[in-house]
Amino acid sequence: MRFNKTYLLSNATKIPGYLEKEQVVEILRAAKLCSQRDFLLLRFMWRTGVRVSEVINVTPNDIEYKNSVVNIRKAKGGRQLRVLLDQDTLKMLSDYILALNTLEDPPVFPISRAQVFNLVKRYGDKGDLKIHPHTLRHSFAIHLVRSGMELRRLQLLSGHSSLSITQVYLQFKDDDLREAYERVSF
């Protein structure tokens, strides 16, 4: 199984490759067979687009189940961020937190950055993918844009300070461009 290669922009910014939705599903399936924690952590990252440092600091208090929102108190640049999360993942997360019988303050995923990098690599290797956590973030962004999300809204969900930062994630394959072009009515 292959994933889309890393791109190099003219300003020498290295852009990570991204996974197709089916590839993410395969990684999640492999994680689910091994560990509920790993599965939920990866699913959370895929469904929210958060960075490693953000996901490992989420506590039960940060989750607003009624609003389908997770408050990221320690986002990049010291900012706060509110990310959306689907009801199915929220339900799994709620069950997981209840099963842990954890307090409201400790992180939901009490693991280190290095452990997250290792588990992403491990599950990627199972599918012959050489990926890292930021690949999930990039895949999230590409998936949302392909699904019709406006760039400004993606910027807000990603916690970027400017649209130019968000645009870095928008490296598409020829097929993506062709599909968009073919939808245009001339």
Positions marked catalytic: 51, 76, 134, 137, 160, 169
CA 7 to each of CA 1, 51, 120: distance values in angstroms, whole numbers, following the listed order: 19, 20, 20
The span from the CA of 118 to the CA of 83, in Å, is 24
Beta-carbon-side half-sphere exposure of residue 164 (alpha carbons within 13 Å): 3
The span from the CA of 89 to the CA of 165, in Å, is 28
Phi and psi at residue 7, to the nearest 5°: -105, 150
Tokens of 72: 């990221």
Length of the chain: 186
